[in-house]
Structure 1
């Protein structure tokens, strides 16, 4: 019986193929760095591994035998809205691997906002020696909206700073490292006592604008908002107004409704706002983080087919 062909479409495709071949018998791995390379070998591949946002429609069309896509990302929205993708194709993601990098970005934004690091960089450009009091994270309260793997990773980093960690979730009522868990209906109460509100909740109809104008108004004027989830989780227009009106002290946004963020967006000129270009999930060891998840799923697929896979994404009907 011929080995099942797996197309690996990624800048590190060769490394993935070499390491997976050692750990996952019964597969023939096909590396492709460019779309052109992928199209040359796609016809007989039953499995596709790649970064979901960069998988083009042409590649899907060229894979009539496709049974399963192992996304090398957590977000798979691009694939879910692709009509060319057959309804019986299973999609899995790499949920669970992004805790270190996303939690570190959240800590970076908290410290940069509290200590006014952008102002220091601006002063450096003009050779201006200016000092001001430097707030500590110690004894501050951080409210994490969403209690998944990334939230737990962030809590594990905040607690050693001496921070008080709270959370907002309807799914979990008690989590190690969290002083208190609020229901989503209590988000304004949670925000009101926080010095930092960090949004890490999955995006969907129930979490659309979970942080809206009312939540922002409930926050302390000295508090900061950080969004590393999805742009739609936060009302961006309300954030601009809150910053202009001094309702909150500042914000750090890594995700936006439209990406790249339009040059005409009022966010660019909003005061006390740090914008990062959706880098939260990136790291200098991304392939090494994703590979064990891929290997585990490939071996599970070999043993039990699609029903044995982990991190299966529910596709819209």
Structure 2
């Protein structure tokens, strides 16, 4: 006889136990893709596996690699009630199709803010201080033969610079708080409307949060000017470091394009920890090759993960101008475990099976009827 328990499909194993516990209690039937022979390099199920296993499922938990579209939802059928993605971005999900099929959607904001902010700062320091070049020099055994003159591999200090942000939501503000420690000249940002900058974090209390809060309480202002410049071209022209932390939508596709890059300072840097298509990669490569900007620190890029050594961004003449990481912005144990837990809770809420409050509670829902 078919199981009366709701079928839950996971496109990969995640670092969480809530769904496994629910399965052991007989509340759900759990079906998880696990890598087999020949799958050593896969991070999650191939789409074919999801399509073969989704029919009759009540819930689906995915990551960025799985496209949730009309075809998949039709294959799932009317039984599918909830899709939960273990990510803060949801450009891999067709929101209109989910609404059409009455599928609730959960995502995982908040819990990865600090980790992504750390990565933005990491990339900034790596690219401005030529850390990758210096590391390769040591690994390749070239240190003994390299003349270490006063300005060899020297780069600009972050201190006294103007830090610009495309987008000024929670992650951007976490990043801005970190840059406060470097005593920047200004912080400017482009957003749809001015956003109050909270000098301390409600989610995590750190030394910097306390310091900024104390300064703000005493002087009734922040130690650094924070200003919204609605015109992206104007904001980018003022920034010494432009950090991209915006949502990716049709309207923000290639927001950083040739026109924006041409208006930037020749000494400026671009850092992207959001989504690759926010930057026109061809325009970025051209700007770097023609010294229109000084460098780029990227955790994401168009076409990822299919970036091969012959990609233009990795050309030899850009080695000292580009740092490219394989989308590890949220890769701390704490962030990934928090994302997994939130994804599980959202999924259980969509099935009315939560035990930590209202059974149908959603901590973070992005679309779909209740």
- Paired with 2:62 and 2:250, the residues of 1 have a C-alpha distance of 27
Equivalent in the alignment of 1:206: 251
SS in 1 for 2:366: coil
Gaps of 5+ in 2: 35-44, 200-223, 353-357
Contact 1:195/1:222 (<8 A) preserved: yes
Contact 1:8/1:17 (<8 A) preserved: no
* TM-score in terms of structure 2 length: 0.70
Contact 1:113/1:250 (<8 A) preserved: yes
Equivalent in the alignment of 1:102: 116
Equivalent in the alignment of 2:58: 46
Contact 1:123/1:130 (<8 A) preserved: no
Equivalent in the alignment of 1:179: 225
| Matching residue within 176, 201, 205 for 1:155 | 176
- Paired with 1:273 and 1:41, the residues of 2 have a C-alpha distance of 41
Equivalent in the alignment of 2:295: 250
SS in 2 for 1:78: coil
* TM-score in terms of structure 1 length: 0.81
Once the 2 structures are TM-superposed, how far is the Cα of residue 282 of structure 1 from its aligned partner?
Answer: 2.9
Gaps of 5+ in 1: none
Equivalent in the alignment of 1:190: 235
Once the 2 structures are TM-superposed, how far is the Cα of residue 202 of structure 1 from its aligned partner?
Answer: 0.8
Listed one character per residue, the Cα deviations across residues 164-200 of structure 1 (whole Å, up to 9, x for unaligned) are 4322111333222473232432x22222222100011
Equivalent in the alignment of 2:190: 168
SS in 1 for 2:253: coil
Q: What does 1:1-317 correspond to in 2, within 5 Å?
A: 4-12=6-14, 15-18=17-20, 27-28=27-28, 30=30, 32-34=32-34, 45-54=57-66, 61=75, 65-80=79-94, 87-124=101-138, 125=140, 126-127=142-143, 128-131=146-149, 132=151, 133=154, 135-163=156-184, 164-177=186-199, 179-185=225-231, 187-259=232-304, 260-261=306-307, 263-269=309-315, 271=318, 272-294=321-343, 296-297=345-346, 300-301=349-350, 302=352, 303=358, 305=360, 309-314=362-367
SS in 2 for 1:206: helix
Contact 1:202/1:229 (<8 A) preserved: yes
Listed one character per residue, the Cα deviations across residues 92-125 of structure 1 (whole Å, up to 9, x for unaligned) are 2112222122211111111111111133123322
CA spacing shift, 1:300–1:243, aligned 2, 3 Å = same
- Paired with 2:22 and 2:170, the residues of 1 have a C-alpha distance of 25
Once the 2 structures are TM-superposed, how far is the Cα of residue 44 of structure 1 from its aligned partner?
Answer: 5.4
Contact 2:84/2:347 (<8 A) preserved: no
- Paired with 1:30 and 1:63, the residues of 2 have a C-alpha distance of 18
SS in 2 for 1:53: coil
Q: With CA pairs under 8 Å and 6+ residues apart, which has the higher RCO, 1 or 2?
A: 2
- Paired with 1:155 and 1:50, the residues of 2 have a C-alpha distance of 30
- Paired with 2:82 and 2:124, the residues of 1 have a C-alpha distance of 39
Once the 2 structures are TM-superposed, how far is the Cα of residue 227 of structure 1 from its aligned partner?
Answer: 1.5
